[in-house]
Amino acid sequence: MIISMEHLHSNEAAIEALREVAREYNREIEVSHDIGADQTSRRSAAGVGVTTDPDGSLPHEALVEFGGSPRLMVRLFPEDDGDADALITVEDVECHDIQRDQVPAFVRSVFGGLAHVKAKRFPPGYRLVVPLPGDKTFKEYIPMVLLTPWLSSQVR
């Protein structure tokens, strides 16, 4: 089943798209759900036992973990949290503010070998570079102490 990556308006649609990517790259996938305003990470002010948002909706957050190397986790935030739909962690490098529609392409770029680490001479340092279709590229700084064997193998 092919899922359109253009309009992933819900976390359930994004999870199904990520399951498809896992099948495509023969990866194990584990999904955990946090449902309710008192359970999601960005709702600490909701209060104890408060499960719905003020508008009556039931927020849903999910954590998707892929098996194998590189280690990759995707945290999908509730649908109404604005532009910052997801946080993707690749080998302990956090990539913030990923839009839900871009998550499957991001994961494909990592698993498909397009993502790489760029070494800079001056100022010295490393960046995780994840290209996406449409000339969009995410770049995240990597402290040298976080260079794992997989990240080191991706240096260009």
* Angle formed by the axes of helices 103-111 and 11-24, nearest 10°: 20
Residue 46 lies in a domain: yes
Which pLDDT score is estimated for 151?
A: 97
**Residue % of the chain over a pLDDT of 90:** 57
pTM of the full structure: 0.80
Q: 26-35, 46-55, 61-70: which range is least confident on average?
A: 46-55
- Mind listing the pLDDT tens digit for each residue in 12-49? 889 999 999 999 999 999 998 765 444 445 444 445 55
Nearest to 79 by CA among 53, 106, 104: 53
In the chain, how long is the greatest CA-to-CA distance?
53
Answer whether residue 55 is part of any domain.
Answer: yes
Q: Examine residue 6 and state whether it is found in any structural domain, yes or no.
A: no
**Cβ distance 142 to 120 under 8 Å?**
no
Q: What percent of the chain has pLDDT over 70?
A: 73
Question: Count of domains in the chain?
Answer: 1
pLDDT at residue 2, as a whole number = 38
What CA–CA distance (Å, rounded) separates 131 from 62?
Answer: 24
* Residue 137 within a domain: no
1 lies in some domain: no
Q: Which domain holds residue 20?
A: 11-113
